[in-house]
Structure 1
Amino acid sequence: MFFKDIAGHKAIKQKLIGAVQQNRVSHALLFSGPEGNGKLSLAIAFAQYLSCENKSENDSCGTCSSCLKYQKLIHPDLHFVFPVIKKKASEKPISDTYIKEWREFLSNSVYHGFEKWLKKMGTENQQAGIFAQESEEIIKKLNLKSYESEYKIMIIWMPEKMNISASNKLLKMIEEPPPKTILILVTEDSEKIIKTILSRTQLIKIPKINEQVMYESIKEKYEIEDAKIKEIVRTSDGNYLKAEELILNNANSSEQENFSLFAQFMRDAYGLRITELIEWAEKMAKSGRETQKNFLQYALKLLRENFILNISPENQNKVLFLTDNEKNFSIKFNKFIHKNNIFQLTNEFNEAYNHIERNGYNKLIFLDLALKTARLLKIKPQ
């Protein structure tokens, strides 16, 4: 992976390269930012540059022995930790259990998402995590001497998915790192990482991709009409992963399904169709927890966009990031989302998300959400 492969983030790339050139690389880094901004690839490109035998001023050389192994993700001093699933209750999976799938996942795109990783592992119905047994692997790998490079580098993707046992072992490793060891944590939700780890890492915020940068990148890579590129850039809102899905017409897989569920749910809730709401809750309960969480996040986004449309309809082209289907629905629906219910609705969907994440009884959670939503939609704007 090269810095040049990742769209934008020029200042961050220069900062990382400067740290290497000045020999001022922190032993524990935290790359934090939203999905689809290339932060995982940025971490790999940084690790490759750090290990490169013939660095240039702007990137790794790509031809030395180290770079060639990095490009295949098989360098012996590069280690990965990432969320995995338990296909059986008795299983004790670690990252290495899925290393083949992981290398394929990374090689398929510069931009990566958690939902896509779940599909790569062959499931959307199980909760993935970094479990206690992984902590022993982390200690074992980082206590080994480096084989070829000056540094051993471990990239931990989604550390917010770590259980408390693994987090405490990682904390000890950060506090007392083995010599010539660098840890790079890559997160989308730093608030879920224990504070003692956060306080001991150097935070590097990776923002969403600038609209102009994304426009130029898509224009260079794909043969698409200019107007279509602008629509994709607007809809994807700095998320290159979503932009790629729109380009490849795959957005209808999860995004379109979420929209259909949301639209019908809101119609049934407003109409207080109890039978349909019970059926909706049962359908949601049968889907996997990650699918449920994904829907709730999507619903929160659409509620927000409808509220913005309600309070500033004249600025809809500037502030909204909606597909055509979402926009057509929202033009009629936004009047029901206003200052007297938006905060309560947001709170209820956030509460449902938190309960699902804590393994609550999902059928009851969704039925409760449905009835509360029905009540809140009846609140008048004045």
Structure 2
Amino acid sequence: MEEHGTRVYDRLTDGRARRLRLAELVEAAATAFPGLVPTSGQLAAERSRAQAGKEGLEIDQGIFLRAVLRSPVAGPHLLDSMLRPTPRALGLLPEFTRTGLVEMESVRLERRDGVARLTLCRDDCLNAEDERQVDDMETAVDLALLDPGVRVGLVRGGEMSHPRYRGRRVFSAGINLKSLHAGDISLVGFLLRRELGYIGKLVRGVLVEGDGSWHAPTVEKPWTAAVDTFAIGGGAQLLLVFDQVLAASDSYFSLPAAREGIVPGAGNLRLGRVAGARLARQVILGGRRIWATEPEARLLADEVVEPELLDGAVEAAVLRLDGEAVVANRRMLNLAEEPPEEFRRYMAEFAFQQSLRLYGEDVLEKVGRFAGRPR
């Protein structure tokens, strides 16, 4: 793959004439180059086992995708392919445009006053992410970006039914460790799709080749996040791509990558830029928890208010991003802060390192321990 990655990719995509998403690409590779990556049948057999009982076939996918993303020809093409709207979103778009409401298992999407309000509603597991939630989030982000009636996006956690937090809003508990223990968190379907799919679209927009504006192939919109109670792991990672973040004063932020044993998505790329290298190491390597009332929290949240005032503060905040020049300026900020080539190189190495971490002895031991108790 190091020597032939670009040619392999060109064969699979007919010379980059076809845009394949990650899952389609690895499936095509398994057919065209037997033995290069696991087949769908092999992966299905792996999926039936707990994480500790798997053979680690996804590591071959990590090797394959590292080479594709490293290629200055194939890598950008794959990243752009992942910015295309999903078929599911395109199918739901007429309904959402007409009614302003789509309710999915993990996300409720409502358009009101030009604001797309994405409410994370996995109330039973504190909005811990699994593949279902990643799919619902990408669908919701696509719809918000494609609907001409939406000018600003807002993401917030809904009220929980979990006994410990019943009736309280929670932003996110991060990756669902029970699903990881059970073998239901995949490299391609969760860990890479999440970063290159809906999170990538929050940053760079949705790609609408052929029917977009002549001056911009992507449709971008500004995004606000509101944090209630906590943003742990993947929830904290997510905050790093929003244009503004508000937090309740009794909430906290945590990115316990070392405790869980895996690489926290693009958090290693972004947290140091946002909060500084020393604090990033304290959080990612040392597991430091940052409370919203700490001075360092101002590096992660633009505004911290008392919980009873958060609703009003959020409404005022989304209005601040509803301006003609906001999209152009956020595009230039994102280009300066995270050039696509830098992101591509990071994700190439992430694909490989994360595939190894999924099968590390420490990870298997830790998720087995965490899986038996609530977050």
TM-score (normalised: structure 1): 0.27
Which structure shows the higher strand fraction? 2
TM-score (normalised: structure 2): 0.28
